[in-house]
Structure 1
Amino acid sequence: MKKKIAYLCGGLLLAVSGIAAADGLRGEYNGYPVVQVVVNGKAVQGEVPGINMDGSTLVPLRLVSEALGAKIDWNASTSTASVTIAALPAPSVPANPPETTPKSKEDIEKQRLEERVEAMYAKVETYIERLPVIREKIRIAKEFYDIKKSNQYFVAMHEPYWKTFEDMYLSIMTDTSSDDLNKAKLLGILDPEFIKLLDAAHNSFSYYKLSVEHFVRYVSLGQSQFLELYISSYANAFEEELKAKEMLEAAAQGKNR
């Protein structure tokens, strides 16, 4: 019975296991070159050797299967050879993996404060990003006046236009006055320079708004001092804008260190 199942196409077996190899050796078996069978780096041999038949490697099924710890059965009625490989043990799982370790109340509180501070910095960043938009609108309005002698673009920047910026600033100020943010300051989560950063951003906004008001007065009253005030306010606004951007970049670099 063993002889009936002694050989199986070596190409199929090797493709499945990936751990059996055959090397050519001297000698023949029934007119075919004998090959050495290696399983998991160990040479194995049985009653019947592996052979090379017309370019295909054939190895004993029982030899390789048993070397792998598998069980082999032969069903004579169906001419079927069955190979059963023992199941590998399931990998052990730690009872309490590090990633599932419950966080302490202090850690949870600190994480919550960090998230609030991040959200607040995001608001300030958005606020600062709008300053160049205001500056560009004022520049265009001034160029239009120089060409057309009309201050219609300055007049369009009235109170409803500024309200969005004022509301955003008040929202940030409300955050900074909360107990949570005071805790964040004590824990070193909130940059001590944050208030200065916010002040610089709001000063820039206020100066830009003031420059528009001065120019509108200059046009309506024709008094040169308002034109001078427009120029100085615009220059101050730009300086505060640059300061706010530099402080925001410094804060971002500090968080990344």
Structure 2
Amino acid sequence: MLGKSVRREPEVVRERVGYVPQQFGLYGDLTVWENLRLYADLYHVPQGAFEIRARSLLQEFRLLGVEGRMTAALSGGMKQKLALACALVHQPQVLLLDEPTTGVDPVSRRQFWRTLYDLHRQGITLVLTTPYLDEAERASRVAFLQRGRLVACDDPRGLRGSLPGRVVELVAEPRARAQSLLRARSDVRGVYVFGDRDRVWYTGSDVGGLRRFLEREGVRVEILRPVLPSLEDVFVARLSSEGG
């Protein structure tokens, strides 16, 4: 990592990497400032540099004025900001984040992503895991993992273009019968529930033929149209083809 061997030079690598765990990992019985000081000590940040860096982070994350407050008394959003500040106190080149927005409300989630964009513009490489594929759309490169194994890796556009065939959006009644009929076809690789409609992974060339087929079988088709595949479509298709 960063041109260094993780095995031979672990300390050098560790000093250049920050980490934000999924579960809040700071000390509730320490103040905001004390947690920052603790992390700075762990990374051997000199006292003078720490004072400047800590004040800058507190201002950047809007935590000025609460540095003397016990961490356990902070709101969820403030705890998240403090965890990020602690991970950045030693000015890492790479920041690892484990599902940082899981359980976060939509407004805080959006604000958090704005912060990540700011960090990226500062030249920090961000590596994060997320169960939300709409978040993955924002990344410059995406990797799909299944049971710890790499299934695919590319930029979002490349991943969407890697899906053979096309994705067809379907609204039909009776829904279960339409799903069953389509799954039995050799040119349909999968049918997936997508809210109040279905997504059909279709490898044939005649989308209109799908409509005629369903209508001949007594299914009323309200919507049947090709749509641009999302990363979620690609992810589900990949897992299906891999036997997941």
TM-score (norm 1): 0.22
Write 1 or 2 for the structure with the bigger share of strand: 2
Greater RCO, CA 8 A, separation 6+: 2
Write 1 or 2 for the structure with the bigger share of helix: 1
Larger radius of gyration: 1
